[in-house]
Structure 1
């Protein structure tokens, strides 16, 4: 009888629409991709071409506006607001910083660090700008730099204010819009905002898993001399799901400890490549040159739209990346805001940028510039292999073949990526579980059954997509499409923050 009451009580607390509708949408999308791959791809690519080509300026201006807005939050009167009534931050600096870095697309950061320059290498725009050595690593730092992180930072501040200052029990995107939209967030408009948010998150996470897990399967196959099959990739996915599900059961303390451990593994991998590869001087000098080049040209990179459409570089890369970061804005900033209790807004902004960019740039400079050095010295031809249609994952394995004791490096890569996946999806599962409740007191954690439900849903979509190799372009299109409403919602949330924070300061 008690169990029955408990079950009924949980169902009464849950927002069933948030659980059911996104699940159905994911199922429908999987069906369309599998049943009508050519037709669905054509439709999605058409919509993507329209949004990237005709609406591209929206994504670009949103990126610039978010960066300016983040700086204003830090250095204006709002920067002194402390999020919560603690005398000192809830989490110490290193744990807080590693939780920020590992809650983002950290496994993707490792993946793209090793190959991003090669993805740009054959673009005519790169050749027109001045060549691969100068501009391929520069664009990598730009696309994973301050503009991208600013999407997270401005929302993290808004969510932190909502949670720790206003103490809102309805922990959803829609609630953050209340200062602007008022009671409309309790109706259809609020439901639409939250459903768009959850669906966008599912699209972004599926892209992440489907891109990087085949690399883990190939690395394990190389180390243990076994075939790199779809079955092995799915086993890797399930193992990652098991790890992050178990971790999230134990709550924020377990997540913070795993994030710290993840940081140590990450630094060990970087040290192995930096010192073992013997390219330290090239890595550092190319990194410094790329940073200087990016800073010197930051405004032009941020505003160049290629109005004559001489190349498709902006649509294929810059706009896609801003959209990709936007769909992750549904959960990651919420997580950053929730772990920032006791910090000032200025500290959240500067610390968020500091830890995020430090981890990201260190990865791209060391891993990316090492692989670029091997291309420039003729040890590998990653750019040529990719241009001929070769698998990016196989090219990355070739990079590790140039390092001493290749098996050790590949094991470090696998462990680091699995740990990053686990911490990232711990954060996502925790946040989307909060989303699932009609109301949940700040500080109280969701039921384990809700966490498990989302853990399984996050993994099912990528498993389907693993069988559909050519569907990744379609999924990237879904990402750009889903990012459009998220971008509009971001504007509403930030405007709501300034309105509510001004009111709070007047109250003080």
Structure 2
């Protein structure tokens, strides 16, 4: 149901100014912007990297406690409420929203980065470097990433579908802590911070993935890879996700997500069967063993003595990226999760989300390492001479039916990022709408405005160029968001304890209905 309500000017205009403040200066003064980026990047990663790593593990531990504890079977909705979407479409939407085209790009080139700059003092290019190169992508796109995504979803969905909050916003889920202040200036500050984080996260995705697509188009059709081609790609993307977000959840985002999941399975199966199947399976088994042995070491490793820079450049960046995306995932996945239990939600994100990422990292990462190890294509040399995006093209060109594989890859990354930006524009419009129930959608014109605004951020990042500026947009966004997420966890646990005081350990009969009828309260109001 579309909502044509009035926008919340106190949130909308400051948030839009943040978008302009990020994109316009970068486009006008790229050299000065680049120097500022380097300085801010060094300060934040040096001083706060440890905080990001601790927060990632904290999210993982809280979710295990929630899913396996007394609140696992609490339903996010009424006791008899059925899920709005099928399980397949639900998982497809949350996966496509949370991962976007990033997985398509990093699963191929990330192992080559690690091979030439491995962790723990391992010699670059050595046999042990190959093992760590295959493993580390699975770690960065695994349980910790999805735990950060899942953390805000539970309290937001609970506030909207159980406590019947009238607005799908971060601030309203913090009502148990701040009370009526969430309807005033405290709520405005929180929601503007959320919008800031969303813009930074999606700006990172667009800034990284647009050059990857332009490099692929050069490999497919021989067109020159330039800033003008990248701007054309942004405009095409804008048309795709603008149309999709205009059509809404069921007719737009759901359809794109379903199509993408089917295409993803086809491409994964093709690479596994057409490539070195036994090698990939052996590497994957080996990596699972390494992960079980070294999960805690990698989770907390900051390399304080040798200061190689690996944790800051990779783990800290990834954790910040996930934190910056967490508000969008919390709001969007909460919107599509009515009728699911807390345990179902944790399993869907932390297990199925992780498994989907592992399939990509294991199969494509294994294949790119096989190509490098057997001298089928000099991927390290290509990266040094032509950049990281050329590695993707060179790797896919070694496959049988390479043109078809490259075309499917291009379609996939287009749709993946379109669904991510769709979800973000939808979420931003929801946050900036005054009243929006859980079963309503923000106005179409409002969703399209945010789609255009997000495209403008990517243009600013593309003009500056390079990997570090787009990484920095996530780092800066994540720093102020982390305390908000911690407060959200406290608020969620507070709501559960207040509404389910009868859920105590060792009780034989358990009633998973809240002690207070919020449905009746909502009707009375």
The bucket for the TM-score relative to the shorter chain is over 0.9
Structure 1 CA distance for aligned equivalents of residues 392 and 137 of structure 2: 16
Aligned equivalent of 1:292: 289
Are residues 1:173 and 2:167 paired?
no
Cross-structure match for 2:89? 95
Query: Which residue of structure 2 lines up, in the alignment, with residue 448 of structure 1?
Result: 444
1:274 to 272, 282, 307: 272
Partner of 2:103: 109
Equivalences for 1:30-429 in 2 at 5 Å?
30-85=23-78, 86-123=80-117, 125=119, 127-128=121-122, 131-254=128-251, 255-277=253-275, 279-386=276-383, 388=384, 390-429=386-425
Which residue of structure 2 aligns with residue 3 of structure 1?
Answer: none
Determine the C-alpha separation between the residues in 2 that align with 1:187 and 1:114: 47
CA distance 1:135–1:206, shift in 2 (3 Å): same
Aligned residues of 1:98 and 1:355 also touching (Cα < 8 A): no
Q: How far did 1:491 drift?
A: 0.2
In the alignment, the residues of structure 2 paired with residue 323 and residue 61 of structure 1 have an alpha-carbon distance, to the nearest angstrom, of 12
Change (3 A) 1:429 1:31: closer
Aligned mates of 1:256, 1:484 — CA distance in 2: 31
Alignment match, 1:501: 496
TM-score (norm 2): 0.90
Shift of 1:33: 2.2
1:109 CA displacement: 0.8
Structure-2 separation of matches of 1:26 and 1:335:
20
Per-residue CA distance 1:424-478 (angstroms, 9 max, x = gap): 22211211111111221221111111011011111111123222224x4133223
The Cα shift of 1:337 comes to 1.5
The structural deviation recorded for 1:292 is: 1.6
* C-alpha spacing 1:113/1:126, structure 2 compared with 1 (3 Å): farther
Do the aligned partners of 1:334 and 1:431 also contact (CA within 8 Å) in 2? yes
RMSD: 1.9
Q: Distance in 2 between matches of 1:281 and 1:458?
A: 42
TM-score (norm 1): 0.93
Q: Distance in 2 between matches of 1:291 and 1:383?
A: 25
Measured against aligned partners, the alpha-carbon deviations of 1:359-417 in whole angstroms (never above 9, x if no partner) come to 1111111111111110011112223433x353111111111111112211110001111
Distance 1:219 1:50 in 2: 35
For each residue in 1:45-84, what CA deviation from the matched residue of structure 2 results, as whole angstroms up to 9, or x when unmatched? 3333232222222111101110000111111111121111
Q: State the number of aligned residues.
A: 496
Offset from partner CA, 1:117-151 (integer Å, 9 cap, x none): 11222225355287321111111111111011101
CA–CA distance in 1 between the matches of 2:99 and 2:420?
7
The equivalent of 1:466 in structure 2 is 462
Q: Which is worse superposed, 349-358 or 87-96?
A: 87-96
Which residues of structure 2 form unaligned runs of 5+? 502-513, 516-525
Higher mean alpha-carbon deviation, 162-171 vs 13-22, is at 13-22
Instruction: Answer yes or no: is the 8 Å Cα contact 1:115–1:396 preserved in 2.
Output: yes
Q: Secondary structure at the match of 1:14?
A: coil
1:472-483 equivalences under 5 Å are 472-483=467-478
Greater percentage in helix: 1
1:296, distance to aligned residue in structure 2 (A): 1.4
Cα distance change of structure 1 residues 456 and 174 upon mapping to structure 2, 3 Å threshold: same
Once residues 138 and 428 of structure 1 are traced to their aligned partners in structure 2, the CA distance between those partners, rounded to angstroms, is 30
> Does the Cα contact within 8 Å between 1:126 and 1:136 map onto a contact in 2?
no
Task: Give secondary structure in 1 for the equivalent of 2:106.
Answer: helix
Shift of 1:240: 1.9
Quote the Cα distance in structure 1 between the aligned partners of 2:139 and 2:250: 33
Q: For 2:330 and 2:358, how far apart are their aligned partners in 1?
A: 20
Unaligned runs of 5+ in 1: 1-8
> Structure 1, residues 149-179: CA drift from partner, whole Å, max 9, x if none?
1011121111111121112122222222121
